[in-house]
Chains A and B, each alone.
Chain A
Amino acid sequence: MITTIIRRGIQAMFVIFAMTLIVFLGVNVIGNPVDILVNPDLNQAERLRVVERLGLDQPLWQQYLTFLKGLTQGDFGTSFVYGRPALDVILDRLPATLELALLAMVIALVIGLPLGLYAGLYPNRISSRVIMTGSILGFSLPTFWVGLMFILLFAVELGWLPSNGRGSTVEFLGARWSFLTADGLQHMILPALNLALFKTSLILRLTRAGVQEVVAQDYVKFARAKGLRENRVILVHILKNLMIPVVTIIGLEFGSLIAFSVVTESIFGWPGTGKLIIDSINLLDRPVVVAYLMMMVVLFVTLNFIIDISYTLLDPRVRLDGKG
């Protein structure tokens, strides 16, 4: 057990190290940021000074070593655009992304779970068929286009909800949050709904499949035979056993929700990390791009590590690496 954890841990570290190399080299292959970030009116000497200040005159391996050294100290370099440490720029934006992703997950659960339960319990009703067809649409509809249609319908035509920005925020635990103010919540609804669209379909389908599996089990038949009220059978016997795969998926998908917020944030002008990375790619702000990508790599490697380990803990039949 312990050896598996250690081996997995070493593998995870190795993956992160390899990704530092790939990300750093990859990002440094794109065009010359000097041309974009240095004022073209500057004379040669001033240009050189700026290049030197940004560390762009060093050979690539030197830049990489500096980068690695900085990495161990949580220092990804200074953003070319904001003139502040890249990690700070990202961490500033992180609460906005986190609260949006969390709300989207809650929405996906609140809509997807009951609908999936219903469609699973009564698979032959017409309403169930409608729900299932709707979930296919949720998979097929391009998220960004749905976002635009949300803006068109709810913000432009009906004028019910704002479509841009975070609204007013309040400071709490050292960060600014929108979900604590009425205005902020209003601003969150459209982007969160948009982000939740895909996950709602996913949870819905997963729940339905789970229900159909559980309903056929002996303990459910027994509970019904015992004469328990249907509500109790559904809530205790079915729903409880269903939660394991659903919770796993929620954990798994939270990372991808943060990754997909790139699209939603760009549509709704939501100033989170997703919008930041798109802006930074377009401006060739390399330290921010690198810091963001590394943050995501660490996030996903950690998530996978946790999932692998918990599977081994929960189910001894799962043998990692096929050696056992």
Chain B
Amino acid sequence: MNANVPILPDASALAESGRLRTGLARFFAAPLAALGAIVLLAVVLVAILAPVLSPQNPYDLMQLDIMDSRLPPGSSSFNGVPYHLGTDGQGRDILSGIMYGLRTSLLVGLVSAVAAALMGTTVGLMAAYVGGRTEGFLMRLVDLQLSFPTILMALMVLAFLGNGVTNVILAIIIAEWATYARTSRGTALVEREKEYIEAARCLRIPAHRILLRHLLPNCLAPIIVIATMQVARAIGLEATLSFLGLGASVTQPSLGMLISNGYQYLLSGLYWISFYPGIALLITIVAINLVGDRLRDVLNPRSTR
């Protein structure tokens, strides 16, 4: 038994890298998923490189000219800066606005999904490992929370905390953690009964170490899938909340805020102010969902044939 212990990590590491390679190959075998991954990569790059790529810094007032406001797509400013997607009511270039807006949207999506995953997984694994009354109580709490729609939970939190990006992130975390808790507990309940956990217990490995080093890695696959999809959901939710006037501030607009800005011009037919940020939002969400969908197929052991 003892002789086996030091060998284990090496063996599993080997298997890990082999699995990763075949996993990646399988992931890119689906053309739609590959397209999604490439588009997503492009979107992330655009967001990161926004200050370099964008024709204009839309939040530097010195670069704005009110005379350029509400220009249709394809026009340009007096000194020849092209407005490929038109300008909004303050004369900001829509394309640049989208590039900067992506940063806020992606940031909110990523931070809230990761934080909710951390919180939910901790609760779920603890509940599964500890069991008994604690588990019962925690899972009742999860059931309760999941019986309310996400938007209602988010509204409730924002009604308490007030507006702003940080509060929106908090609201999304509070609204979404329960999904992770339920999934990770479900997986952990199955894993808990397996021999390797029993072996670890027999070896008197401390509980926190079993949880972190043995249980968690083996429950990770479904959590990663949910977290991926959740990034898209969080981006959509943030956009919705911003549109309702409860989200991002004017100084740090997200895509939802940009769409909201165009709302008032819609009835006069100035479609581009809302239309293009919406397309950017749609592309981002669909790309993430395609990647997540494929991840689910690849990581699901039952679908391995």
Contacts and interface: CB of A to CB of B under 8 A. Distances in A.
Interface of A: 15, 23, 26-27, 29-31, 136-137, 139-145, 148-149, 151-152, 155-157, 163, 255-256, 259-260, 262-263, 266-267, 277-278, 281-282, 289, 293, 296-297, 300-301, 303-304, 322
Nearest to B268: A156
B266 A151 contact: yes
Contacts of A282: 245-246
B39 to A, nearest CB: 13
A148 B262 CA distance: 9
B148 A300 contact: yes
Contact of B281 (A26, A27, A142, A163): A142
B161 A30 contact: yes
A281 B281 contact: no
A26 B269 contact: no
B159 A149 contact: no
A273 B236 CA distance: 22
B278 A30 contact: no
Q: Which 9 A-B pairs have the closest CB atoms?
A: A26-B160, A145-B278, A256-B149, A259-B149, A259-B152, A304-B147, A144-B243, A281-B159, A140-B286
Contacts of B286: 137, 140
B282 A143 contact: no
Interface of B: 136, 144, 147-149, 151-152, 155-162, 232, 236, 239-240, 243-246, 256, 259, 262-263, 266-269, 271, 274-275, 278, 281-282, 285-286, 289
Given A29-B160, A30-B159, 16 more contacts: A26-B159, A26-B160, A29-B161, A30-B161, A31-B162, A145-B278, A148-B259, A148-B263, A148-B274, A149-B278, A152-B275, A155-B267, A263-B243, A266-B244, A281-B159, A322-B136
A294 to B, nearest CB: 11
Contacts of A29: 160-161
Contact of B244 (A255, A278, A289, A297): A278
A62 B223 CA distance: 44
B293 to A, nearest CB: 9
Give the secondary structure class of A's interface: helix
A300 B147 contact: yes
A142 B236 contact: yes
B282 A142 contact: yes
